[in-house]
Amino acid sequence: MIAYPAGQEPDFWQPNPADARHRFALGRVGDCTPESPPLVVIGMNPSHARETESDKTVNHIINVSRREHSGWLMLNLYPERSPKPKALKLYDAGLSAANCEAIEHVLGLVGATEVLGAWGNMGGSATLRRALPDVQTLLDRMSVRAYTLDALLNTGNPAHPHPPGRPLPMLGPKRYLT
């Protein structure tokens, strides 16, 4: 079990009560305001982190958020929980639509105008490749810009913040995705 950094335990998650199969959002947003929004991140899919237990990726995001943000919020391209993206079930358009509805609600709730893209090469998952255009269409419709703090991968995707080995520095500058 990986603990959250002290004082950074989540105070927001969807669904609530938590669901062992899916997670749409997880974060600490109670101290956020429109003038001091959380760091909003869109990753691949939820892995181990939940309201009572963190994981390496989320803890790295929390540490990055402390530089300039009053909180953190983790969203994903697809809400199915799995530590192995290749093990995701076949793409479900209804589940992807529910994920996009949750993303839209949460982005509106915190007044986000940009998000940190952090989905990497999607672990070779056909499900994530199918879900990416759904989320991109939503972000375009909402005029929310995605950016990365590290170089784009050869595929044009933003890097995952904690690839195997050591986490990325995520020091910027912001590079907006097209």
Return the half-sphere exposure (C-beta side, CA atoms, 13 A cut-off) of residue 44.
29
Tens digits of per-residue pLDDT, 43-82?
Answer: 999 999 999 999 999 999 999 999 999 999 999 999 999 9
Query: Cα–Cα distances in Å, from 31 out to 34, 41, 70, 106, 153?
Result: 10, 17, 6, 15, 33
Tens digits of per-residue pLDDT, 5-58?
Answer: 999 999 999 999 999 999 999 999 998 888 889 999 999 999 999 999 999 999
Inter-helix orientation angle 93-110/126-142, to 10°? 40
Tens digits of per-residue pLDDT, 108-159?
Answer: 999 999 999 999 999 899 999 999 999 999 999 999 999 999 999 999 999 9
State residue 35's pLDDT score: 85
In this structure, how many other beta carbons lie within 10 angstroms of the beta carbon of residue 150?
16
Q: Which residue has the higher pLDDT, 166 or 148?
A: 148
